[in-house]
Amino acid sequence: MKITQIRNATQIIEYAGKRILIDPMLAPKGTYPGFEGTVNAHLDNPRVDLPLSIEEIIDIDAVLLTHTHPDHWDETAVNAIPKEQLIFVQHEQDKAILASQGFNNLEIFSEDTDFGGISFQRTFCQHGPEAAFEHEQMAEILGEVTGVIFSHPDEKTLYLVGDTIWVKPVENTMRQAQPDVVILNTGWAHVLGFGPIIMGLEDVLKTHQLLPKADIVTTHMGAVNHALVTTQQMRDYVTANQLSDWVHVPEDGEAVTITH
């Protein structure tokens, strides 16, 4: 298994002989205004350049989208990815969005999916605190998001946790699935008045406490205006808590290969 960090939550996962592009945000640095109603909204997105060419990034077997927020599926990706590319989506609503953008090889992923022997299990995400979902407009903006468990007879189990805060259903998934590898979105992005909408530093330690043998890979840091945790801050936290044997904090363009 090889996980290449691209930028933000965009990664290429090489798993059971397939190259799967996760949540592509492919625009040049500074293309979009910051997200309104979030911290540091005066900063343009993305905050940094891509480490690889778009041609290299889209040399893949499939795309998998955890959801269609613009920092996970942007206009540049819509224009760059071939319309016939196989794209896995979480539900009918996202399938309809991509179909309206001209994509014609769309599949809703599930445990019944057989992609070269790979199956995908959707898992619960809560993309913000309860208070945010009690606010009608904010609940609509945050929407439905999914995590994914990848499994294959010849591979370690991989849990891509997705855009979520730490909640009991996520903890229960970790306990029940006992994944060998966990990808955490740890940028600690904040919405004004509601607080964090994804995980942060301490969630890495919580994950290690729950899954002491698992490899943990962090992502979704330092590339959008409302993410408050940087890669360097995460590395400092990992070092301070003596987690370096288990937690990988790849820079953009860097790959993590899981061999043990």
How many domains, the chain? Answer: 1
Domain containing 19 equals: 2-257
Segment 124-130 mean pLDDT: 97
Segment 62-81 mean pLDDT: 98
pLDDT-derived band at 113, boundaries 50, 70, 90: very high
**How many whole angstroms separate alpha carbon 208 and alpha carbon 247?**
8
Segment 235-246 mean pLDDT: 98
Contact 58, 65 (CB under 8 A): no
pLDDT in tens, 131-186: 999 999 999 999 999 999 999 999 999 999 999 999 999 999 999 999 999 999 99
In the prediction, which pLDDT does 260 show?
66
216-227 CB burial, b ≥16 within 10 A, e <16? bbbbbbbbbbbb
pLDDT-derived band at 100, boundaries 50, 70, 90: very high
Paired tokens of 105: 């090889």
In the prediction, which pLDDT does 178 show?
98
Percent of the chain scoring above 90 in pLDDT: 99
Q: What is the 3-state secondary structure (H, E, C) of the chain?
A: CEEEEEECCEEEEEECCEEEEECCCCCCCCCECCCCCECCCCCCECCCCCCCCHHHHCCCCEEECCCCCCCCCCHHHHHHCCCCCCEEECCHHHHHHHHHCCCCCEEECCCCCCECCEEEEEEECCCCCHHHHCCHHHHHHHCCCEEEEEECCCCCCEEECCCCCCCHHHHHHHHHHCCCEEEEECCCCEECCCEECCCCHHHHHHHHHHCCCCEEEEECCCCCCCCCCCHHHHHHHHHHCCCCCCEECCCCCCEEECCC
pLDDT-derived band at 107, boundaries 50, 70, 90: very high
CATH number at residue 72: 3.60.15.10
Q: How many angstroms separate the Cα of 131 from the Cα of each of 16, 169, 205? A: 40, 17, 25
In the prediction, which pLDDT does 258 show?
95
In the prediction, which pLDDT does 259 show?
83
**How many whole angstroms separate alpha carbon 185 and alpha carbon 190?**
13
